[in-house]
Amino acid sequence: MRTYFVLVLLLITFTIVPGPALGQSDFPNKPITVIVPFGPGGAADLTSRLIGKVAEKYLGQSVVVVNKTGGAGTVGTAALAAAKPDGYTLGTLVTSPIMTVPHVIKVTYHPVKDLEAIIQHSILNFGVSVRSDSPFMTFKEIIEYARKNPGVVTYGTSGTNSAQHILMEQIAREQKVEWIQVPFKGGPEILSAMMGGHVSMAATDFSPSLYKAKKMRTLAMFLNERWSEHPDIPTLKELGYQVPVPYFVGVGAPKGVPEPIMKKLEDSFTKAYQDPEFSQGMKTMGLLPAFYRNRKDFSAFIAKSFEEMGRYIQELKK
């Protein structure tokens, strides 16, 4: 009888123990969901869809994008942080819900402690734009007008306390101007509002189609150097404005995903980044040239930048 129970226990042990290892070794065996914290059609959404589509080649499974909007990206990011850490729910890591909003309001996640980076694959192509028939030809002109007409100029962003909002308010503070922020769910809504004359300018994604059609004039880009695809557009930095916010787009996961699965995800998305289909897709859509950081470097970058942004935002409050 004792031998019988020993055999039963051994059978149970060998039945249970290999389970997790087997689940990790055949990962993925079903579709993977990627949560994008902004609406469809914006730069974060388009780049996430593109790299997800290319990554399907290397993952052997489909990648399904789900948009969860609200709270300057914090709703979708909170959903990512709360997801089961099995590698089947990933998310887009993007500036506002990672770098700025958590320093200003209480959120249900910590960008460093509750999330894990996989790779960074691009940089957001944010800029300040106006309609082509706007009287403002330069960013300096709109600053001067706002100074003479307090509270008249309005600008759209992806949400209160978003990276764009904080940057624009910092410029207003430095230049002693008063303008009004109007929050939206994402880039397409902001651009539509600008084109409809509902806001004076848009502080959001650069729109290649509107720019090429000469329906939009971009006064400055939120970049450290001029974009080679559009060298005629100056950067805020060269115009003399401080741009401390790091603009990035990457892939992340909830904390706790097993290392073998994280390694598979990093390898697959890295191969997708290196695939000519990704770089050609970025160029075709008019998005910024891709920018890569591996898991280790992207994690370190987020941790360091999050701490620096915290100090910067505290300075703004003084």
258, with CB counted inside 10 A (0-12, 13-18, 19+), is middle
**186-207 mean pLDDT:** 94
Say if strands 32-36 and 89-94 run parallel, antiparallel, or are unpaired.
parallel
Average pLDDT value for the chain:
89
* Tokens at 297, concatenated: 């470097």
- One-letter identity of residue 171: I
Who contacts 39 (Cβ-Cβ below 8 Å, separation ≥6)? 45, 67, 69, 185, 186, 187, 188, 189
d(CA 86, CA 255): 10
Q: Is the pLDDT of residue 17 over 70?
A: no
b (16+ CB within 10 A) / e for 214-242 = eebbbbbbbbeeebeebeebbbbbeeebe
d(CA 181, CA 153): 9
- Please, are residues 45 and 36 in contact by the beta-carbon 8 Å criterion? yes
Give the pLDDT band (50/70/90) at residue 8. very low
Q: Nearest CA to 237 among 29, 246, 56?
A: 246
- Please, are residues 51 and 264 in contact by the beta-carbon 8 Å criterion? no
b (16+ CB within 10 A) / e for 134-159 = bebeebeebbebbeeeeeebbbbbbb
d(CA 60, CA 27): 9
Q: Nearest CA to 109 among 210, 253, 234, 318?
A: 253
β-bridge mates for residue 129, sequence order: 202, 218
Whole-number pLDDT of residue 205: 86
Angle separating helix axes 276-284 and 43-59, nearest 10 degrees: 160
Whole-number pLDDT of residue 289: 60
Q: Which domains does the chain have, with CATH numbers?
A: 31-124+248-316 (3.40.190.150), 126-221 (3.40.190.10)
**229-258 mean pLDDT:** 90
For residue 207, how far is the Cα from the chain centroid? 16
Q: Is the pLDDT of residue 13 over 70?
A: no
- One-letter identity of residue 40: P
**49-75 mean pLDDT:** 96
Kindly tell me the sign of the dihedral angle through the C-alpha atoms of 157, 163, 167, 170: positive
Give the pLDDT band (50/70/90) at residue 110. very high
- One-letter identity of residue 91: G
Sheet harboring 180-183: ordered strands across? 180-183, 154-157, 201-205, 126-131, 216-221
Comparison of pLDDT for 232 and 283, the residue scoring more: 232
Count of other CB atoms within 10 angstroms of residue 50? 23
Question: Percent of the chain having pLDDT more than 90?
Answer: 68
Give the pLDDT band (50/70/90) at residue 224. confident
Q: Is the pLDDT of residue 193 over 60?
A: yes
Q: Is the pLDDT of residue 182 over 70?
A: yes
Give whole-number Cα distances, 283 to 51, 113, 125, 208, 286, in Å.
13, 34, 13, 10, 5
Give the pLDDT band (50/70/90) at residue 14. very low
11, with CB counted inside 10 A (0-12, 13-18, 19+), is exposed
